[in-house]
Each structure stands twice: as structure tokens, then as C-alpha cells.
Amino acid sequence: MKKQPVIIVTGASRGLGASVAVWLGRIGAAVALVAQTHRALEQTATQVQNQGGTPLVLPADVRHATACATVISKTLENFGCIDALVNNAGVFQPLAAVANADPDLWRYNIEVNLLGPFQMTRAAMGPLRQQGGRIVNVSSGAANHPIAMASAYCAAKAGLNHFTRVLAEEEPSLTVVAVRPGVVDTAMQVYIREQGPGVMPNDQIAYYQNLKTDGLLEPPLVPARVIAWLALHAPRSLSGAFIDYDDARVQRPAEDFFGTDMPKGL
């Protein structure tokens, strides 16, 4: 009998993380759902279950080592092993120039976007080594391309990419990748469109507004399919890489594996 894969997904209460979890549910995976909002996680859990998966709701703040350790212990208690970790939890704010940024908000961004993946990875390392597992870090094009007024987000994602490279060097038994999910139609884009005017340069906010009005934002399910496939099947040859969600090396096999029809209800 084929073993049920066990995957932890952070930031699973909505958007990209919820979509990753639902794709994993489609193939009957056990999915540990991590975010701070219990009610929203329950909604994701229902969607995972409707697809045929086995969800486990684990409210936690990934900034804190004790919370991450609890996620790992409860996942092992319920499912017995951990095959993959998807570090997806993230925030965009503060939206401010470096000279004016609130230090506490800047620190919070780094803690969620960079310290969170470190804490989750460190806590999961033993079980992942036992399985020869996979870690998928959800990054951003902002890791390479500066976005004015988003210094914390850009710095955190750049750090996450290099963290991925170092981890791949240190842990040869694991497959570790970072993914650029593209510009996705999520709450983060809503935040930029609402809070960006008057703060971001005019041409920059016009770009984000036009993405929405011109229908150029990707539905979360599109990059989420690739992220879910990487959690299950990322080839060892990609370990340490920062890869685009629409790279043919990952997009085509993800479509072949999951199919092109989208899960309903998201």
C-alpha cells in the first residue's frame, strides 16, 4: 500500500498557501495547515478534505521557535513522519521608505518572511532527514528586483533565496528549492493597490494597478500547482535553485501530475 505523503504548509489560511494545500489534498496527501488564524485554517481544511486529503489544523506563529516545534511534534503525532515542508507564510508591509520605516514593522517582516522559514526548517530537520525530504521556500521576484518602499520584503526574500542555497549545501540528503510564484491575485496585491498610492512612485503603483485591471494577475491555483508538485517531486538536481513557477522544467510535469482542471471552491 502506497504511503500517504505528509506535507506541512505555512501561510495556509488563504491565497497561495491554501491553494497549495488543496492541490495536495487532490492526491490524498496528509496536509498540516499552519497559520495564525484558526477559523480560516478550518475553511482550508474543509477544502482539503473535499479533495480527498487529510488535513490537520495547527494554528501557530512561525516567528517563534516553540510554536514551530509544536507544529512538528503534532504533525508527527498525527501522521508519523514529515515528507516535505512548504515555507509560504509571508507579509509585505511596511510600505515605506527606509528613512521613514517603522523599525518594529521592518523587524516583523524579517521575522515572518525569513526567520519563520529558518525556525520551521530547523524544527523539521530531523524528520525530513529521515525521509530524504523536500523543502520549498516561496520567494519572490523582489529578491532580485528592488521595489521602492518595500525594503524589508525585498531584503527578506533575497535572504530566503540565499538561505535556500546554503541549506542545499549543508543538507545533501534533502532537496531544497526556492520558487518565484509570479504576480498572484492575493490579499498582498490588494494591500499594494490600496496602500501604495501616495507612497510608492507613480509608475510603480500604476504597474500594480494595471496588472489587476488588465487581468494579468495569476490565480493562486496556477503557481500553487507547481509548488505542490515540488513538495512531492522536486528533483535533486534543482536543490539550491531559485526557480520560476512557469519554468517548463516544473510547470509541465506539475500539469501532467495534477491535471489542468482547477479544484473548485477556492
Per-residue pLDDT 10s for the chain (266 aa) are 458 999 999 999 999 999 999 999 999 999 999 999 999 999 999 999 999 999 999 999 999 999 999 999 999 999 999 999 999 999 999 999 999 999 999 999 999 999 999 999 999 999 999 999 999 999 999 999 999 999 999 999 999 999 999 999 999 999 999 999 999 998 889 999 999 999 999 999 999 999 999 999 999 999 999 999 999 999 999 999 999 999 999 999 999 999 999 887 66
Cell of 119: 525556525
Residues assigned a catalytic role: 153
Q: Which of 156, 255, 112 minimizes the C-alpha distance to 164?
A: 156
Burial label for 40, CB within 10 Å (0-12, 13-18, 19+), is middle
pLDDT for position 2? 57
Q: Which residues are within 8 A (CB) of 228 and not within 5 positions of it... i.e. 6 or more apart? A: 20, 23, 24, 86, 254, 258
Distance CA 99, CA 221 (A): 37
Please state whether beta strands 175-180 and 242-244 pair in parallel, antiparallel, or not at all (unpaired). Answer: parallel
pLDDT of residue 1: 46
Q: Which domains does the chain have, with CATH numbers?
A: 6-89+113-181+220-258 (3.40.50.720)
Prior bond to 223 cis, omega within 30? Answer: no
- 77 by Cβ neighbours in 10 Å (0-12 / 13-18 / 19+) ranks as exposed
CA 181 – CA 197 distance, rounded (Å): 24
**Residue 145 half-sphere exposure toward CB, CA atoms < 13 A:** 6
List the alpha helices (DSSP H) in 100-236: 103-110, 116-131, 151-170, 187-195, 202-213, 221-233
